[in-house]
A and B are shown apart, each in its own frame.
Chain A
Amino acid sequence: MSFLLWAEALLLFVAAVLTGLGAAGVASTAVLGSITIPELWIRVILGIFSAAFLAGSSLCLALWAGRIERHRPLRLPGPRGLVLITPQTVTQLAHALLAQELEETPFRIRLRTRRDGLLIRIFLRLPEEARIPELAEHLQELLTAEVSQRTGLKVQEVEVVVHGTSRRA
């Protein structure tokens, strides 16, 4: 998947360069049926295409870099060597902790790494009889304490996003 993004970025860049060169090299008007397109217009159209390809290439590169960043292990230097912890490990740990707490309630976790620590986002449906402030505070405390203690990584923020309710009408 990462390779595809990288290849797409490269292809779009090549397309941007070729259309850019084409725009620069236009030397005459074009005739399409009964319409005559002036040289300037052809340059402008090719220039727009070139810019669009370049923007697409940049977007693919940014997505590729973001994906690499998301999968990059978190580093803990130690006296005998490095300890690297993959984001997947932290996500699994947070998932297991939440599964014990929330039992049947469906939820998803997104993890982002920042310079100053981890950002954990939980997306869930509000369980029956639960109140959002108490539940959110409890989950924030649980994840901040347990993930930090079990991984040695600082949890900077735990965001709880309630996107629905499990209560029956």
Chain B
Amino acid sequence: MPRDEQEFEEAGRINIARDVISTIAALAAAETPGVFSPEGAPFPRGPAARRHVDTELLGGRVRLSLRIAVEYGRVVPQVAQELQEKVKTEVERMTALPVEAVNVEVVRIAFPKEAR
């Protein structure tokens, strides 16, 4: 059973909730060019984006899964890899937890004209 938070116990206790990790990942997604929400709208910032991010904590390691749409005209694997890189960097930088994997599921193509 995955735990909801990760603890550090060196000079004191620090708990990091899974929701915090999800929010960091979602913010990274919102800042990645070509990444849209699965509905084809701009990727939301803040807690609303957490429903597109699943975070698992397994033995102090983080495994993330994101569901996204990719903007029409972009190279899908390239956008996904940029997103993986950005999410991994941001989560590791802000939480000091090692990120084992960032899985990205591209569920549709976003046409920015539709989103407006």
Q: What is A's interface to B at a CB cutoff of 8 Å?
A: 73, 76, 78, 80-86, 88-89, 92-93, 96, 149-152
Contact = CB atoms under 8 A, between A and B. Distances in A.
A83 B106 contact: yes
B8 interface: no
Interface in B25-61: none
5 contacts: A83-B76, A83-B80, A88-B108, A96-B72, A150-B74
B41 to A, nearest CB: 15
B84 interface: yes
Contacts of A82: 101, 103-104
B81 interface: yes
Interface string B75-95: 111001100110010000000
Nearest to A73: B105
B109 A93 contact: yes
A35 to B, nearest CB: 61
Contacts of B72: 93, 96
Contacts of A80: 81, 84-85, 88, 101-102
Interface string B104-116: 1111110100000
B109 A92 contact: yes
A84 B76 contact: no
A92 B108 contact: yes
B70 A84 contact: no
Interface residues of B, number: 23
A81 B69 CA distance: 17
B65 to A, nearest CB: 8
Contacts of B75: 149-150, 152
A84 B77 contact: no
B76 A81 contact: no
Q: Chain B CB within 10 Å — which of A80, A82, A84, A85 has the most?
A: A80
A152 B75 CA distance: 8
B77 A78 contact: yes
Nearest to B111: A96
B108 A86 contact: yes
Given A80-B81, A81-B102, 5 more contacts: A83-B104, A88-B108, A89-B109, A96-B109, A149-B75
Contacts of A152: 75-77
